[in-house]
Amino acid sequence: MSESTDADDPLVRKWQQITVISPYSRELGLQLHAVQPDWCVIRAPYDPRTIGNPETGVVHGGVITALLDSCYGLAIFVRMTKLRPMATLDLRIDYLKPATPGRDILGGAFCYKLGHELAFVRGAAYHDSPDDPIATSSAIFMFTGGPVISLDEAVHLLEAMKP
């Protein structure tokens, strides 16, 4: 499976700007890792500030929830090739094994049903392969009011907002 991870790829650069549109994503240092119609991957760098268990150094599950929530938004936008205002309605997450301390965590997501009102997504958090997951998850997003804009329009808006 080829993954487009080239940071010089203009499309990847644009989606990276969308990935860090939220202050919380920037705070966690999330970086776009790969973008494909059927699998979008975001990297969460290991951060000692987000350790949940001080005896083991394992990061708190809240980081994985935030990572997957961000991946889901991206996967829906990538499937639409547009941005549309939406909100998380429901998100479930199963923790299969602890993340390895010191290692970055990848979150991958796929939008498997795109409706008029709702989008259904599933994903996983892992180090090396989604086949050996730290957590598996699914979620439902609801589109809210507001304009639908293209990726290019969104990137232009973001650049205009820069100080």
Opening angle at CA 111, ends 93 and 157, nearest 5: 105
CB neighbour list of residue 60: distance below 8 Å, 6 or more residues apart:
50, 51, 52, 53
Of 107, 98, 102, 106, nearest to 134 by C-alpha is 98
Q: Quick check: 102 binds another protein (CB under 8 A)?
A: no
DSSP state of 38: T
Q: Per CB under 8 A, which region of 5-13, 33-41, 68-76, 117-125 contacts another protein?
A: 68-76
**Rounded Cα–Cα distance for residues 47 and 100 (Å):** 12
**Rounded Cα–Cα distance for residues 21 and 6 (Å):** 20
**Rounded Cα–Cα distance for residues 7 and 13 (Å):** 6
Q: Quick check: 22 binds another protein (CB under 8 A)?
A: yes
**Rounded Cα–Cα distance for residues 38 and 49 (Å):** 32
Among 88, 104, 127, 154, binds another protein (CB under 8 A): 88
Q: Per CB under 8 A, which region of 35-43, 91-99, 109-117, 123-131 contacts another protein?
A: 91-99
Among 7, 9, 92, 117, binds another protein (CB under 8 A): 92
Q: Quick check: 66 binds another protein (CB under 8 A)?
A: yes
Q: Quick check: 95 binds another protein (CB under 8 A)?
A: yes
The footprint of another protein on residues 30-59 (CB under 8 A) is 48-55, 59
Q: Minimum distance from CB of 9 to another protein (Å)?
A: 25
Q: Minimum distance from CB of 81 to another protein (Å)?
A: 20
Binding site for another protein (CB under 8 A): 21-27, 48-55, 59-63, 65-70, 85, 87-95, 98
